[in-house]
Structure 1
Amino acid sequence: MSIKEKYALTDEGVRNVRLGAVWTTVTNLVVFASVGFTYVIMSAIVARLTGGEVELGPWGTLGFDPLAVPVAGWVAAIAAYLAVLFVCERLAYYYQYGVIYKESGRQRIALAERLRKLPLSFFGRRDLADLTETLMGDVKTTEHAYSHVLPELYGAYATMAIAFVCLVAFDWRLAVASMWSGPVALLLLFGVRSRLQPLMHKTRMAGLKTSEFIQEALECVREVRATNQEERYLEHIYESVDTAERTAIRGELACGIAVNGAQIVLRLGFATTLLTGAGLVLEGTCDFLALFCFLLVVSRIYAPFDQALMLIAELFSARTAAARMKSFFEEPLAEGGEACNPAGHDVAFEHVGFAYEKGGEKVLEDVSFVAREGEVTALVGPSGSGKSTCARLAARLWDASSGRVTVGGVDVSTVDPEVLLRDFSVVFQDVTLFDDTVMGNIRLGRRGATDEEVLAAARAARCDGFVSRMPEGYATMIGENGARLSGGERQRISIARALLKDAPIVLLDEATASLDVESETEVQAALSRLLAGRTVIVIAHRMRTVMAADRVVVLDGGHVAEQGSPERLMAAGGLFARMVALQRESADWAL
């Protein structure tokens, strides 16, 4: 498996990690060059004391006396060395940290783009806390691995290999004695990776479970307080935190034992170098300066390796995080053509079946009807009969499991959802608003709309009344998901947004459910005037809303029970007539 697949990197990220490793290697080698300078100076001192020449081991003699070089020459040499070291350190830092942080930005954008194109069925299977953790937590985990571990680790590999070749040329016996511990330490650590990886995964999942509990408690705080369930929810959170803590301790303990064991093995190289060198010096087959040189190299070459080993546990954790990120890109997209040229805007369901999960229980079965352009088609039926599902299938928020849905004769499954939705204005029962101004929330319907067009849509949806009472009018911030508004006010902003879009097909899913009787009458009048000539699909439980429709489709248990005009269905005395009668009876109920 390539580094790109292992750590969910982009092509640019792979290139930058490689450059980071290259410049880390170069920097390490420049640092090691100081060992060579030290060896030359020590050889020169010995030569001055013994009257011999400056020895360079297997490379012969130096040919001149470094101690005879003027002070200005040494100052220039040291300045040049420090300049080279600074440039190398600067480039290593840039490719380890500067560009790698940009990679995290690219990853988050790529994940967000992928989420934008995934079908809604994906979000039905994944928890919001899970998605947030991947976008923020997993990307942060991999980011730290890219910047602190991978370049250091690969740089340590390359540095050790190059240093080993040079040291073998100097003295192969001391080279083997000093370098054997590095590969053995790595083999030890990667040998136990198969046992560490599941622990990392469990730690990640336990932390995610805690996040889910906390998010659930925050989202349901009103219900929790209203039902006096604070202690119960806190108990769940405490248990989850304790479980996450125990799992994290087990994982860190296992990683700590493995990493410290590898570091102990790594440091044994220093001992074997000292023992082997001492023996060779006593035999007279190696001089003290050569041993001194090897001890200096060993003290330096283990430093980057030691740092990489300290952080290698994060590398294993990053593999788990990267696998979660990759799972997003393995999900099938709701793809389709960029062109959509329907012959009109009739919405037709042809023997449509739908299940939320493949092989699961069908929510819709053999549903067929036509919502004609210029008419209002009402979908009615008991709760759970499939009304909202039909609306979502029409806009391709989900794809039908069988049969097909067409708009103007074009199968919606062949059109890119973003292209298709240009022809739809949608008002769902569960309104979603942003922490923005009233004007900004309405303008989401059409980003290029002028202030006058936004205000016209707001007036048509009867928003003027409550907006005029706000401190800054249409410039008032409404809080997260419209927290400062009532349910009816939020619904009217959503209707204004749909009216502003001015699309040929309008889906109204319980659009007036949160309005009082007076507001509902006003909004219905506005909708009647402004939706003329469009294909309108209305989902409503209030029969007085349905009675004004051109066509009614009655759903029951995922099937079309009956369809036709309200008058004809009332005369037939079927399910629709019974629902109207029951609602009229309930209207007379009183305390």
Structure 2
Amino acid sequence: MIRMLLRVLGDEYARAMRRTVILMTTTAVVEGLSYALLVPVLRALLGGTPADAVPWLVAFGAAVALYAVLRYVSDLSGMRVGTTMLRGMYHRLGEHLARLPLGWYDAGRVGEVSALAGRGLLQAMGVAAHLLAPFISALVTPLTIVAVMAAFDWRMGLAASLAAPVVAAIQSRTARATAAADAERHERDREAGGRVIEFLQAQPVLRTGERFRLLDDSLLDAQRASRRTVLATLPGVVGLTITVQVGFTGLLVLGAYLALDGHIGAAEILAILVLAARCADPLLSLSDIGGKLRGARAELARLEKVLSTEPLPEPREPIQLAHHSLEFDAVTFRHGGHTVIDEVSLTVPEGRRLAVVGPSGAGKSTLLQLLARFYDVDAGAVRVGGVDVRAISTEALTARIAVVFQDVYLFDGTIEENVRLGRPDADEAEVRAAATAAQLDEVIERLPGGWATNVGEGGALLSGGERQRVSIARALLKNAAIVLLDEVTSALDPVNEAAVHAGIERLMAGRTVVMVAHRMRTVRRADRVVFLDGGRVAEAGTHDELLDRRGRYADFWNIATAPATRA
């Protein structure tokens, strides 16, 4: 467990963890040794001169005081190590997740990572703070007490030690028996969590009378999995309890026999039985502690699996960009077992606009994602400024690209905080200018909170058009040389569409632009149009050239503009 923890965290935490383990082990040994002083105390109290017990009582009190100090220091050390590791792991996990390719985040992965970053990480990193000390105490203190017993009477010590292999066997068997049940419970809990999110998102549909049976079934499966986990651990709990009770009863019988036969004094047998009783509590707690440790180990294994996922590689010697032209050179990209982009070659000179159109599933949005290096290509090369994006540092590439998606995600905060994400060090005048250019200022004026209005999680408290204006203002404030637009007006009403188009025109001015569009209003303003179908470039040229060819693009244009023509 400790080795896995250090393997996941890194060597920088090894020294502090080893120091804490040594301190906790010393504390447990001192606790066990302090009980050895009960023998001379009871011997003096039951003898002819009870006053002789005073020095031993003082020594016992000093030993207890030393144990209390060590326990405080070791618990404090464990808490500090645990919080330090938790903070470090949050940073490491966050940095690693930010470097993983976007394709890694499928529908089920987001819920899994969310659970791991919340309850899972707390459970795994809580080992040092909450579980390590009681676990070491439950193991070391009884072993120390058995050694003390053996020092006073080897027969009692030998009898007490016979329980150790039985306890170890029970713990090992319980761990094996619960492994499959724990894994199933985790999977069912993950599925149930995803169904709860779906239940919340599907309220408009569900309130029309539909019952969400998928949630009912998943919660029932989670309940059954939890029941199976409890049943799997029950034999271990019962077996451990019986072992401890049988062991104590055996010591009691052996002690009575030795006392009656005159081989051991009454004070010694009484002290040894007190020591045996003290062994019982930590041994009985092993079931609960063991279950928690198994849960923490499972979370650590899942965490290690995430951290072992290879991120997009960073260049050892990044190349600086001299200009901002774009190029796809025989690019092929596969995802989910099929080819999404198939040997696509095209160029966008610096300061020019490229429009990408085509049917759904043609690979249009994937082109933008490859430009922003959300994925790496399987063949060919994507170049920015004549440089392969794989030879550009992620920080440098991100700084030169502004992306406006169709589905805008805003962070739970104020409008101003979301706009400032484009460039956090921008002054107030620059933020206000970006808002005006994006026509966000008229939205701010009608909101009661103005700039301090909270947008809610994901921007849920704003309309789609308002979220788009925030996104455009953010991109304008970033002032990147390359702008990627992904169907930003496809779901907007006419009023918001006109306002967003005005903001987009300001955003595109003087920049290298690649836009994916279903609506044809922005396509006509592009310097070049590419019609994509099945991951291949079916046609390419200017808007007028493609209309004159009367090919796929002309058909697409006629269908898209037919309602407006009839009107």
TM-score (norm 2): 0.92
Preserved contact between residue 530 and residue 540 of structure 2 (Cα < 8 Å): yes
| Residues 120-175 of structure 1 deviation map (CA, whole Å, 9 limit, x = unaligned) | 01102643222211111212332454444333223333334444444333322211
Structure 2 counterpart of 1:40, one-letter code: P
Q: Structure 1 residues 10 and 167, CA, compared in 2 at 3 Å: closer, same or farther?
A: farther
Q: Structure 1 residues 375 and 544, CA, compared in 2 at 3 Å: closer, same or farther?
A: same
Q: CA deviation at 1:325?
A: 1.2
Q: Structure 1 residues 390 and 14, CA, compared in 2 at 3 Å: closer, same or farther?
A: same
Residue 561 (1) aligns with residue 538 (2): yes
**Residue of structure 2 in register with 1:67 after alignment:** 51
**Residue of structure 1 in register with 2:240 after alignment:** 262
Partners of 2:43 and 2:109 in 1: CA distance: 68
Q: Secondary structure at the match of 1:468?
A: helix
Partners of 1:110 and 1:429 in 2: CA distance: 30
Structure 2 counterpart of 1:255, one-letter code: T
Residue 509 (1) aligns with residue 503 (2): no
Preserved contact between residue 547 and residue 566 of structure 1 (Cα < 8 Å): yes
- Structure 1, 95-104 or 459-468: larger mean CA deviation: 95-104
Q: Choose the corresponding residue for 1:348, options 295, 308, 327.
A: 327
Where in structure 1 are there 5+ consecutive unaligned residues? Answer: 50-65
| Residues 472-508 of structure 1 deviation map (CA, whole Å, 9 limit, x = unaligned) | 3222222222223221111111111111111111101
Partners of 2:490 and 2:63 in 1: CA distance: 77
Structure 2 counterpart of 1:397, one-letter code: F
- Structure 1, 447-456 or 190-199: larger mean CA deviation: 190-199
Partners of 2:253 and 2:57 in 1: CA distance: 37
Q: Structure 1 residues 544 and 385, CA, compared in 2 at 3 Å: closer, same or farther?
A: same
Preserved contact between residue 334 and residue 417 of structure 1 (Cα < 8 Å): no
Q: CA deviation at 1:192?
A: 3.7
Listed as ranges, the matches of 1:119-198 within 5 Å are 119-124=101-106, 126-198=108-180
| Residues 210-250 of structure 1 deviation map (CA, whole Å, 9 limit, x = unaligned) | 1111011112222333x532x2x1x3222222221121112
How many equivalent pairs are there?
566
Q: Structure 1 residues 526 and 36, CA, compared in 2 at 3 Å: closer, same or farther?
A: closer
- Structure 1, 87-96 or 112-121: larger mean CA deviation: 87-96
Preserved contact between residue 377 and residue 550 of structure 1 (Cα < 8 Å): yes
Partners of 2:496 and 2:28 in 1: CA distance: 74
**Residue of structure 1 in register with 2:26 after alignment:** 26
Preserved contact between residue 131 and residue 289 of structure 2 (Cα < 8 Å): yes
Partners of 1:585 and 1:244 in 2: CA distance: 52
Q: Choose the corresponding residue for 2:463, options 469, 473, 486.
A: 486
Q: Secondary structure at the match of 1:544?
A: coil
Q: Secondary structure at the match of 1:311?
A: helix
TM-score (norm 1): 0.88
Partners of 1:164 and 1:243 in 2: CA distance: 45
Listed as ranges, the matches of 1:371-390 within 5 Å are 371-390=348-367
Listed as ranges, the matches of 1:299-338 within 5 Å are 299-337=277-315
Q: Choose the corresponding residue for 1:577, options 529, 551, 554.
A: 554
Q: CA deviation at 1:429?
A: 0.7
| Residues 191-226 of structure 1 deviation map (CA, whole Å, 9 limit, x = unaligned) | 34222100111111111111111011112222333x
Partners of 1:75 and 1:274 in 2: CA distance: 25
Structure 2 counterpart of 1:543, one-letter code: M
Q: CA deviation at 1:186?
A: 1.7
Preserved contact between residue 379 and residue 554 of structure 1 (Cα < 8 Å): yes
Structure 2 counterpart of 1:116, one-letter code: A
Partners of 1:126 and 1:575 in 2: CA distance: 37
**Residue of structure 1 in register with 2:375 after alignment:** 398
| Residues 296-316 of structure 1 deviation map (CA, whole Å, 9 limit, x = unaligned) | 221113322322333212222
Listed as ranges, the matches of 1:40-55 within 5 Å are 40-45=40-45, 48=48
**Residue of structure 1 in register with 2:95 after alignment:** 113
Preserved contact between residue 469 and residue 503 of structure 2 (Cα < 8 Å): no
Partners of 1:141 and 1:27 in 2: CA distance: 24
| Residues 390-413 of structure 1 deviation map (CA, whole Å, 9 limit, x = unaligned) | 011001012212211011121112
**Residue of structure 1 in register with 2:209 after alignment:** 228
Q: CA deviation at 1:74?
A: 7.7
Structure 1 counterpart of 2:323, one-letter code: G
Q: Secondary structure at the match of 2:446?
A: coil
Q: CA deviation at 1:528?
A: 3.9
Percentage of identical aligned residues? 35
| Residues 69-127 of structure 1 deviation map (CA, whole Å, 9 limit, x = unaligned) | 8x7x7886566445323312212322344542443333333222221221101102643
Larger Cα-atom Rg:
1
Partners of 2:263 and 2:72 in 1: CA distance: 42
Q: Choose the corresponding residue for 2:474, options 494, 497, 501.
A: 497
Q: Secondary structure at the match of 1:382?
A: coil
| Residues 552-581 of structure 1 deviation map (CA, whole Å, 9 limit, x = unaligned) | 111011100111222222222221122222
- Structure 1, 235-244 or 363-372: larger mean CA deviation: 235-244
| Residues 308-361 of structure 1 deviation map (CA, whole Å, 9 limit, x = unaligned) | 33321222222222221111111110121273412311111011111223xx11
Q: Choose the corresponding residue for 1:537, options 502, 511, 514.
A: 514
Structure 1 counterpart of 2:231, one-letter code: L
Q: CA deviation at 1:26?
A: 3.4
Preserved contact between residue 351 and residue 511 of structure 2 (Cα < 8 Å): yes
Q: Structure 1 residues 463 and 560, CA, compared in 2 at 3 Å: closer, same or farther?
A: same
- Structure 1, 414-423 or 454-463: larger mean CA deviation: 414-423
Q: Structure 1 residues 140 and 518, CA, compared in 2 at 3 Å: closer, same or farther?
A: closer
Q: Secondary structure at the match of 2:178?
A: helix
**Residue of structure 1 in register with 2:407 after alignment:** 430
Q: Structure 1 residues 68 and 39, CA, compared in 2 at 3 Å: closer, same or farther?
A: closer
Q: Choose the corresponding residue for 1:462, options 423, 439, 445.
A: 439
Preserved contact between residue 135 and residue 289 of structure 2 (Cα < 8 Å): no
Q: Secondary structure at the match of 2:285?
A: helix
- Structure 1, 94-103 or 445-454: larger mean CA deviation: 94-103
Report the aligned-residue RMSD. 2.6
